[in-house]
Amino acid sequence: MEIQKQIKELLSTLPENVSLVAVSKTKPNEDLEAAYEAGQRIFGENKIQEMTQKWESLPKDIEWHMIGHVQTNKVKYMAPYVALIHGVDRYKLLKEINKQAAKNKRVIDCLLQMHIAQEDTKFGFNRAELEAVILDLKTNPLPNIRITGLMGMATFTNNEDQIRSEFKSLKNTSDWLQNHLQDAKTVSIGMSGDYKIAIEEGSTMIRVGSKIFGSRNY
Ligand SMILES: *Cc1c(COP(=O)(O)O)cnc(C)c1O
């Protein structure tokens, strides 16, 4: 019941242009089914094997988003069904996604992950690297991928000003990107602790886990 209440509450407060990814990593199918009953159709996972098992056993109108770091050799397992890959942080990965998407006669939507946090443990491109990739794609198009926007994670801190300025920098890059790629409208920022700030700073897609499903036991 608690899960359904959280979903309904979140959905009723989100601006119309912001979509909700329910981050269900580590959670059992029953929890996803509860969210599904409340109307939730987009789920985010960060482990390929877990996501594939859930895809196999849950309703087929669910959109599965890969939100974690993706190893190149794992792309083939999600290529048949994944709806959006959030964490694309290197050109080599884009090429592999393109190859596996072609094998499945699909075009796979991807977000490029930007490094906006101070911690150096978080993956992602800096602005110059992003510009280089976009330039490269103009000369060497990858027809089976579609870049639909950017994703980022703010520093894990209580300092709201810092979180806000990191989100602002990603939004700024997103504005630049949209001048080069019309499809790249998605701004995937905001998690349980910072989604309100993210929405104020231009998020169009929030990824919320613990607020919906409770804390995770790893
Ligand atoms: C786990 C995770 C989330 C959700 O985090 P919560 O704080 O539980 O909302 C969002 N994005 C990514 C990339 C994650 O790995």
Distance 103 CA to ligand 1 centre (A): 30
Residue of 23, 116, 170 to test ligand 1 pocket, by largest number of atoms within 8 Å of CB: 23
Question: Rounded distance, CA 141 to CA 197, Å?
Answer: 35
Domain of residue 140, residue span: 2-207
Question: Rounded distance, CA 11 to CA 55, Å?
Answer: 23
Q: What average pLDDT score do residues 133-137 get?
A: 95
The tally of CA atoms less than 13 A away on the side-chain side of residue 86 is 28
212 in a structural domain: no
Atom of ligand 1 lying closest to residue 216 CA: 8
Question: E-assigned strands of 24-168?
Answer: 42-45, 63-66, 84-88, 108-114, 145-152
Q: What average pLDDT score do residues 143-163 get?
A: 96
109 in a structural domain: yes
214 in a structural domain: no
Q: Which of 70-79, 91-100, 118-127, 179-188 has the lowest mean pLDDT?
A: 118-127
123 in a structural domain: yes
Number of domains in the chain: 1
Distance 39 CA to ligand 1 centre (A): 20
Indicate which CATH number applies to the domain containing 113: 3.20.20.10
The percent of residues above 90 in pLDDT, for the chain, comes to 94
Which amino acid residue places its CA nearest to atom 11 of ligand 1? 207
215 in a structural domain: no
Contacting residues for 211 by C-beta, under 8 A, at least 6 apart: 6, 10, 192, 195
Distance 17 CA to ligand 1 centre (A): 20
Q: Is the CB of 209 under 6 A from ligand 1?
A: yes
86-124: pLDDT as tens digits: 999 999 999 999 999 999 999 999 999 999 998 776 689
Q: Which of 203, 176, 146, 151 is nearest to 46 (CA)?
A: 151
218 in a structural domain: no
